[in-house]
Amino acid sequence: MDISVVFQIAAVGILVAVLNQVLTRAGREEQAMITTLAGLLVVLFWVIRYVSELFVEVQVIFNL
């Protein structure tokens, strides 16, 4: 597994948190929520591969 994806996810987390703060302060709660959702989707898109790998691994280990 490539370790750099962890740092990328961390960076996205920090940036989304700051964006959220900036938008909330400006009274744009809706956009703030959309940004958070977008960040979540981007990260999910990145990790979905590893999640599916994990499931396959579990299946193999327990002979399911």
Partner 1 sequence: MYLQLLGAAVVVGGAAALGFHYAARESARLLDLLELKKALLILSSEIDYMRTPLPTAAANIGKRTERWVGPFFSQFGEALGANDGETAYQLWARVLGQVDDAALTEEDVKVIDGFGKTLGYLDKQMQQNAIDYAVRYIDETAAALQVQAEKSKKMYRSLGVIGGLFLAVVLW
Chain positions contacting partner 1, by CB under 8 A: 4, 8, 11-12, 15-16, 18-19, 22-23, 25-28, 39, 42
Least distance in angstroms from the C-beta of 27 to partner 1? 8
Least distance in angstroms from the C-beta of 60 to partner 1? 32
> Vertex 53, ends 7 and 10: CA angle to 5°?
15
CB atoms within 10 A of CB 13: 13
Least distance in angstroms from the C-beta of 7 to partner 1? 9
25, 63 contact by CB (below 8 A): no
